[in-house]
Structure 1
Amino acid sequence: MRSTPDITPHLGQLLKFRRDLHANPELRYEERRTGDKVAAYLTALGLTVHRGLGQTGLVATIHGKGRSKDNPGRCIGIRADMDALPVTEINSFDYASRNQGCMHACGHDGHTTMLLGAATLLAQQPDFDGSVHLIFQPGEEGGAGAKAMMDDGLFEKFPCEAVFALHNWPSLPAGQMAVRVGPIMASTLRFQIKVSGKGGHAAMPHTTLDPIPVACAIVTQLQTLVSRNTDPLDSAVLTVGQITGGTVENIIPDDAIIAGTVRTLKKETREMFIEGMKRISHHVAAAHQCTAEFTLRPGAYPNTTNHAREARFMASVMREAVGDDNTFDDVLPAMTAEDFGFMLEAVPGAYGWIGNGPGGKAGVSLHNPAYDFNDDNLGRGAKFWDLLARRWFEQPAQD
């Protein structure tokens, strides 16, 4: 096995870059400044940058020794997401967000910078037999940016025999890494149920068909899909995050609207929930002489399901990078969702976690206004990606 280059001389530059991204976050499909910064960094490495995939996404390719655009050899993709969240940051450090109501509360600033660190190492010592596509993706936070890049021809323009991604993970101690074969993140779908009745005066409910208690009954019954329809050895989460209806306290409205999400680890469980929600909402409403209209809203993500060979390979690189005691190759899946699942439906690959430890204030989680990426992972993550690319091309190709 060839030795790998040293990331240490580049850590200061990577730290400055990551904190600049954190101070200047951009929401999904608005990552123009971020894209400009990433493109400038890659161009300085001597790479050609292809922009415009998925609106604000970009791709650069590092060719190994003797390889070129016309003769790329075997190719893999490594993906980092770039977008921030509509969250108001409460941190007081000097690189806190300068964009009110927008924050890197999920560590995508770190993901982007880790991949740039890997690009630095791979470009510095391109003594591998193949090509690495560096995929900088927009719109992961509810925008399905992975699918948008694919719809714009990502894997046709940049074919990959495998694709990989990492997410910083606050419940995993810093210095540890994790992956698993099979589903590591849940699918998610967003739904709305509109309950229609007949409004009227609050003092005369008998002359109305009040949709409010009907909506409440539907919410209660929806949870039986988890408690009584889902295999106890499977996992599913149904959350109603919004109920709206009415304009003032003394008027019974015509309509009430329920909105929420469903997260599952199996496609068949997801389909069961869709049919079950339709059935429950329709029949509960009918029992009260009302009607219910069930609709799926935009923003559904598939399961993030790791392919066996690629997940086992990723675990082997993790063990080399952080040691056997710090690698977990059968970690329990999470019910959060990730649009990298779209890529894994099209190309074999794997998605793993790099331990962040508590982000910012002790115990805060992803999407918290006090969250922050652990800068110790800049070097750790860059070295991991560099090692993964080199080790991939050292193993024989699969038919």
Structure 2
Amino acid sequence: MAERNIWALLDQHLVDAAVLRRTLHQQPELSGDESLTRDLVLEALPGTATPTKVAETGAVLRIGGPGPCIGIRGEMDALPVTERSGVPWASRNPGVMHACGHDVHLAALAAVARTVQDIGVPVPLLVVLQPREETYPSGAKDIAEHGVLDTEDCAVMIGAHLQPALPAGVVACVPGGVNASSDEFEIVVRGESGHAAYPHLADDSLLALAETVVALQSVVSRSVDPMRSAVVGVSSFQAGQAANVVPDVARATGTIRALAPETRALLHERIVAVSENVARAHGCEAKVRITVGEPVLENDPRLVEMISAQLTAQNIPVSTDLRSLGADDFSYFAERMPSTMMFVGSEGNTSLHAPTFLPTDTDLRAVAQALLAGYLGATTLLTGTPSRRNTE
């Protein structure tokens, strides 16, 4: 039988993957409602194994025999965005759009799964169809805590995400922390209401919170080592209803990002201390509630090295520079096993989550190549021998 190239097999499966991508794009589903998306992808996967339903609308499907397996994550949810792409296969679900490329990731995963099946599944593959990447509660966290990954003996996890900030075709495969931890905070300041003409008879919660917001801008610059990256940002502020009334309650919310666990803990402490003490100085009381989100996403250095070698062998440009204070709940998998999240440059000229974001078929191929390189690199990690690039 003539020798067949793995990468050529992938290209063959990308024809059907492009059709799947358009189908998924036309029928986007919000976080927690991804049942149709899940079923469409499962229908496109090879094999006859029965999938395991997890995290309400998610599923995992094993391809191959027993033993340690390689997981590849595909996130399924769309966003509450009204599409303005103008393509015939635009979203048919009003106000919902695949504006983050998850439709591309899923279709690429299906193509990789069929390619792995074609080459005889040298190491079992676990397709992980994850709900709720865009919202809390995290779908990845639910899957990680479910126990199914232990039951399936999942030893490695691979992911890839489109990133328009990179040149088209470039894959960022970076060791260590590549995405930040992500937490949210709410500050509620309570004072004493009164007539705005007699401010000395009131305890102004709005003023106390306004000064708190300003003071929080110095938390990173004066409490965090300048060589470490972090963000404390206030994104909403509500207080009062009438122009002539000093409000008794003021509320603000915001985000906390850090690339190191110790920085994360420090920011939590400083936000509470600043809020409580500034409010106290104005005769008010502040209560701070911090909602803990995703941990830092740490790419395994050995796995990165092996995946990068696979990409380089295919003349795919590899970047080692991209780190961001964005967040992805893929980090819950990375906490439990060697994992790598890659970022793939896109031909699209708009940003993620924009109503005009529309990756191309070339982008689909680039994501699929990254995921296949991830599978082959992980195979090397688990078996100790380089993966064959060709098979009969």
- Asked if these proteins are the same fold (TM beyond 0.5), I'd say yes
Of 363, 367, 384, 2:353 maps to 367
Question: Is 1:297 aligned to 2:291, yes or no?
Answer: yes
Q: Is residue 343 of structure 2 the alignment partner of residue 350 of structure 1?
A: no
Q: Could you list the runs of 5+ residues in structure 1 that have no partner in the other structure?
A: none
In structure 2, the partner of 1:111 is 105
Asked if the contact 2:307–2:373 (Cα under 8 Å) also holds between the matched residues in 1, the reply is no
Could you tell me how far apart the structure 2 residues matched to 1:294 and 1:275 are? 10
Match status 1:385 vs 2:385? no
How far off its partner does 1:39 sit? 1.7
C-alpha distance in structure 2 between counterparts of 1:209 and 1:388, whole Å: 58
State the match for 2:195 in structure 1: 201
Question: Does 51-60 or 374-383 show the bigger shift?
Answer: 374-383
| Change in CA separation of 1:3 and 1:127 when aligned onto 2, cut-off 3 Å | farther
Give the Å deviation of 1:2.
Answer: 8.2
State which of 68, 72, 84 in structure 1 corresponds to 2:78.
84
Structure 1 equivalent of residue 37 of structure 2: 34
- Do the aligned residues in 2 keep the contact of 1:178 with 1:315 (CA within 8 Å)? no
Paired letter, 2:49: T
Of 146, 150, 175, 1:156 maps to 150
Whether the aligned pair in 1 keeps the contact of 2:170 and 2:318 (CA below 8 Å) is yes
Query: Displacement of 1:391 after TM fit?
Result: 4.7
What is the RMSD of the two structures over their aligned residues, measured on CA atoms?
A: 1.9
Would you say 1:15 and 2:8 are equivalent positions? no
> TM-score of the superposition, structure 1-length normalised?
0.90
Moved more, 139-148 or 261-270: 139-148
Cα distance in structure 2, aligned partners of 1:303 and 1:393: 25
* Matched residue count: 380
SS class of match (1:100): coil
Q: 1:315 maps to what in 2? A: 308
1:229 shift after superposition: 1.1
Residues in 2 aligned to 1:8 and 1:369: alpha-carbon distance in whole angstroms: 29
Secondary structure of the residue aligned to 1:27 is: coil
Cα shift readout 1:319-375 (whole Å, capped 9, x = no counterpart): 12343xx111x2231110010111100111111111113x2xx3x211112212232
Q: Distance in 1 between matches of 2:254 and 2:315?
A: 39
Paired residue for 1:24, among 23, 27, 32?
27
What per-residue deviation string (whole Å, max 9, x for no partner) do you get for residues 101-122 of structure 1?
A: 2211111111111100101111
Task: Confirm or deny: 8 A CA contact 2:171 2:318 kept in the other structure.
Answer: yes
Q: Is the 8 A contact 1:49 1:59 kept in 2?
A: no
> How do 1:44-123 residues align onto structure 2 when only pairs under 5 Å count?
45-63=46-64, 68=65, 72-123=66-117
Runs of 4 or more off by more than 4 Å in structure 1? Answer: none
Sort the Cα spacing of 1:291 and 1:392 in 2 relative to 1 into closer, same or farther, 3 A.
Answer: closer
| Secondary structure of 1:95's aligned partner | coil
Q: 2:299 aligns with which of 300, 306, 309?
A: 306
Instruction: Find the counterpart in structure 1 of residue 230 from structure 2.
Output: 236
Secondary structure of 1:337's counterpart equals coil
**Residues 127 and 289 of structure 1, relative CA distance in 2, 3 Å threshold:** closer
Q: Deviations over 1:296-337 (max 9, x none)?
A: 136x111101111112122212212343xx111x22311100
TM-score by length of 2: 0.92
Greater mean alpha carbon deviation, residues 259-268 or residues 205-214? 205-214
Partner of 2:388: none
Secondary structure (helix, strand or coil) at the match of 1:213 reads helix
Deviation at 1:387, TM superposition (A): 4.2
Contact kept, 8 Å, 2:158 with 2:371, in 1: the verdict is no
Larger displacement relative to structure 2 (204-213 or 341-350): 204-213
Name the residue aligned to 2:389: none
- Amino acid in structure 2 at the alignment position of 1:313: M
Gaps of 5+ in 2: 385-392
Corresponding position of 1:327: 318
Conservation of the 8 A alpha-carbon contact between 2:160 and 2:370: no
Percent identity over paired residues: 34
Question: Counterpart of 1:140 in 2: which secondary structure?
Answer: coil
Secondary structure of the 2:154 match is coil
- Deviation track 1:137-180 (CA, whole Å, cap 9, x = no partner) reads 11111231101112222312222221111111101111111111
